[in-house]
Amino acid sequence: MNSSTTVADARPKTGEETAYRRANLAALPGGAFLEGRWERAEMILEVRDPEDGVLLGNVCTSTPQDVRRAVAYIHRHLQDGEWALRDRREALERAAVLLAEQSVRFAEIIAAESSKTINEAEREVGRCIETLRLSAAASSELTGETIAFDDSKAGANKIGWYNRKPVGIIAAITPFNDPLNLVAHKLGPALIGGNGVVLKPSGRTPLTGLAFIQLLLEAGVPAGRLAAIVSGPGVSEAIVTDPQVDLISFTGGPKTADRIAAAAGAKKILSELGGNNATIVCPDAEPAKAAEAIVAGAFGVAGQNCLSVQRVYVHISLFDEVLERVIRGTGSLRVGPKLDRDTDVGPLISEAEARRVEEWVDEAKAAGATVHVGGQRRNAFYEPTVLTDVPADCRVIREEVFGPVVSILPFIQVADAIHAANDSEYGLQAGVFTESLELALAIADKLQVGAVVINETSDVRIDSMPFGGFKKSGVGREGVKHAVREMSEPKSTIIKLAEPSTGWQQLTTAERNAS
């Protein structure tokens, strides 16, 4: 079956619409935040709407010297400034309230500078409110326990305990695809843990991160705990190599993560590095439910989502029906302007990224793949695309597409589907559709991923869950309380008790001398 979906009219905005967006963004803060103040010099880095190239604003280009100033300022504040746990909790609670009050403004900033439709941007703001609330509640994670010293010979006559202390200064390096909530997933746990943070938001979507820094300051986070630097020659290297930066939390790609690790040296690094996520549809699954979830999971945010459904393995008995339903659902999606509430899929983050996706699909077609729907590009827009007959060595199968492309592949034995799903350098998440609890648990046990979602696709993240993956999908875990543990360290206090026998001997000797 062949079908097609067309890109809706992605015309340039009218003068009135453009003026509205610029007015809405005019109140954004300066182009960098360091040493407790907003910097507005050298605001030459342009931020443009990926949909039509309209200039939204400018932010600062910074220097390695700016990084050193920012880190040194936070370091001094950490040494000299007290910020009690209850004050941290209250600041994050206030931030959640402020964000709820400013939700319309933040959604419009996200939709303007990123790939997200206004509906997707609003959902991200809602999730960020929840992330801030979870971060405040995670104050309860900063506890410890007594240590059973008397269980070892070396611990005789000793008592003690440990509690959790901040690691120090955290470098938070965030991507474009979730410019608000992924920032909150780093800053919320870092701040409740008592750390200072240097934020480096994506240069493609910096306005959201800078607005979030401003909101945190309004909520009562001390200026000495925060810095935000977007871009500039040598800035990234300066951040990760600064000796006073104690932990790097990075979300991005494996190649960049390798460079960070090589440059940073002996530092704690938390990394979420993407996925090539599989969904398995077993022979007893409900085809309609599976197909609906596949379409939703493959094409949200134009596929620019680390949890996006990329490979779907369908039992041969259901293959034709599931494929038919996925094609139909994909063909009904509306691709168009982000601010139109009828739009399902907006542009990619840049025309260059859309061209890359186009190249990968063309490569698969040349190798024998069939395009059932989509497969066309217009500027930064790429139509949601469904492929079959894709050879296993094509990039749309082997690598993370990070675009609106899904491949549907048949299997006969469940063991073959498990093997194919695991045959990837990534291991972030996976989905399984089956009516059998026993089969679901058996498959989940064999999949080499950080989370298996039963009767849903991989595209599920609950902000309180431990989030991360196996293999090249990352190191460590996010998910608020889990990140708090990663961003703090246990500190032990040990007390040596007096020897009772020694004290008795001293007493009897004194008594004997007195006599």
213 exposure class (CB count in 10 Å sphere: 0-12, 13-18, 19+): buried
Q: What does each C-alpha distance from 335 to 209, 286, 322, 451 come to in angstroms?
A: 27, 28, 22, 30
pLDDT at residue 167, rounded to an integer = 96
Radius of gyration of the chain (CA): 26
Q: Are residues 431 and 338 in the same domain?
A: yes
pLDDT at residue 123, rounded to an integer = 97
Q: Are residues 94 and 122 in the same domain?
A: yes
Q: Does residue 464 belong to any structural domain of this protein?
A: no
- Give how many domains the chain has, as a whole number: 2
Q: What does the alpha-carbon distance between residue 260 and residue 469 come to, in Å, rounded to a whole number?
A: 19
Q: Does residue 331 belong to any structural domain of this protein?
A: yes
Residue 209, SS3 per DSSP: helix
CATH number at residue 404: 3.40.309.10
CATH number at residue 113: 3.40.605.10
pTM metric for this prediction: 0.90
pLDDT at residue 5, rounded to an integer = 43
Q: Does residue 512 belong to any structural domain of this protein?
A: no
Residue-by-residue pLDDT tens, the chain, 515 positions: 343 444 444 444 445 555 545 545 656 777 899 999 998 878 889 999 999 999 998 999 999 999 999 999 999 999 987 999 999 999 999 999 999 999 999 999 999 999 999 999 999 999 999 999 999 999 999 988 888 888 888 888 889 999 999 999 999 999 999 999 999 999 999 999 999 999 999 999 999 999 999 999 999 999 999 999 999 999 999 999 999 999 999 999 999 999 999 999 889 999 999 999 999 999 999 999 999 999 999 999 999 999 999 999 999 999 999 999 999 999 999 999 999 999 999 999 999 999 999 999 999 999 999 999 999 999 999 999 999 999 999 999 999 999 999 999 999 999 999 999 999 999 999 999 999 999 999 999 999 999 999 999 999 998 888 898 999 998 999 889 899 999 999 999 999 998 766 555 555 555 555 55
> Do 177 and 350 contact (CB within 8 A), yes or no?
no
Q: Are residues 316 and 433 in the same domain?
A: yes
Instruction: List beta partners, residue 408.
Output: 312
Q: Are residues 340 and 427 in the same domain?
A: yes
| Per-position b or e across 12-35, b if 16+ CB within 10 A of its CB | ebeeeebeebeeebeebbbbbbbe
Which one-letter amino acid corresponds to residue 285? A
* Domain extent for 28: 21-273+473-492
Q: Does residue 77 belong to any structural domain of this protein?
A: yes
> Do 272 and 306 contact (CB within 8 A), yes or no?
yes
Q: What does the alpha-carbon distance between residue 279 and residue 224 come to, in Å, rounded to a whole number?
A: 45
Nearest by Cα to 173 from 96, 250, 61, 103: 250
pLDDT at residue 203, rounded to an integer = 94
9 secondary structure, DSSP code? -
Instruction: List beta partners, residue 297.
Output: none
149 secondary structure, DSSP code? G
Q: What does the alpha-carbon distance between residue 368 and residue 388 come to, in Å, rounded to a whole number?
A: 9
Q: Does residue 514 belong to any structural domain of this protein?
A: no
Q: What does the alpha-carbon distance between residue 128 and residue 118 come to, in Å, rounded to a whole number?
A: 15
Q: Are residues 237 and 362 in the same domain?
A: no
Strands (E), 79-168: 145-146, 158-166
Q: Are residues 242 and 318 in the same domain?
A: no
Q: Return phi, psi of residue 310, to 5°.
A: -115, -40
Q: Are residues 267 and 308 in the same domain?
A: no
pLDDT at residue 29, rounded to an integer = 77
332 secondary structure, DSSP code? T
70-129 pLDDT, tens digit per residue, is: 999 999 999 987 999 999 999 999 999 999 999 999 999 999 999 999 999 999 999 999
The DSSP-derived string for 257-304 is HHHHHHHH-SSEEEEE----EEEEE-TTS-HHHHHHHHHHHHHGGGG-
Looking at the chain, how many residues does it have?
Answer: 515
Q: Are residues 184 and 126 in the same domain?
A: yes
Q: Are residues 231 and 282 in the same domain?
A: no
Nearest by Cα to 106 from 116, 292, 467, 491: 116
Q: Are residues 339 and 195 in the same domain?
A: no
**Tokens read off for 14:** 């009218």
Q: Does residue 197 belong to any structural domain of this protein?
A: yes
pLDDT at residue 8, rounded to an integer = 42
HSE (side-chain half, CA atoms, 13 Å) at 48: 17
**Tokens read off for 407:** 């491949």
Q: Does residue 10 belong to any structural domain of this protein?
A: no
Handedness of CA 351, 59, 214, 133 (dihedral sign): positive
Q: What does the alpha-carbon distance between residue 101 and residue 104 come to, in Å, rounded to a whole number?
A: 8
Q: Are residues 253 and 351 in the same domain?
A: no
Q: What does the alpha-carbon distance between residue 308 and residue 448 come to, in Å, rounded to a whole number?
A: 17
Residues catalogued as catalytic: 272, 306
Instruction: List beta partners, residue 431.
Output: 279, 453
229 exposure class (CB count in 10 Å sphere: 0-12, 13-18, 19+): buried
Q: Are residues 365 and 292 in the same domain?
A: yes
**Tokens read off for 99:** 């964000």
Q: What does the alpha-carbon distance between residue 278 and residue 308 come to, in Å, rounded to a whole number?
A: 9
Q: Does residue 502 belong to any structural domain of this protein?
A: no
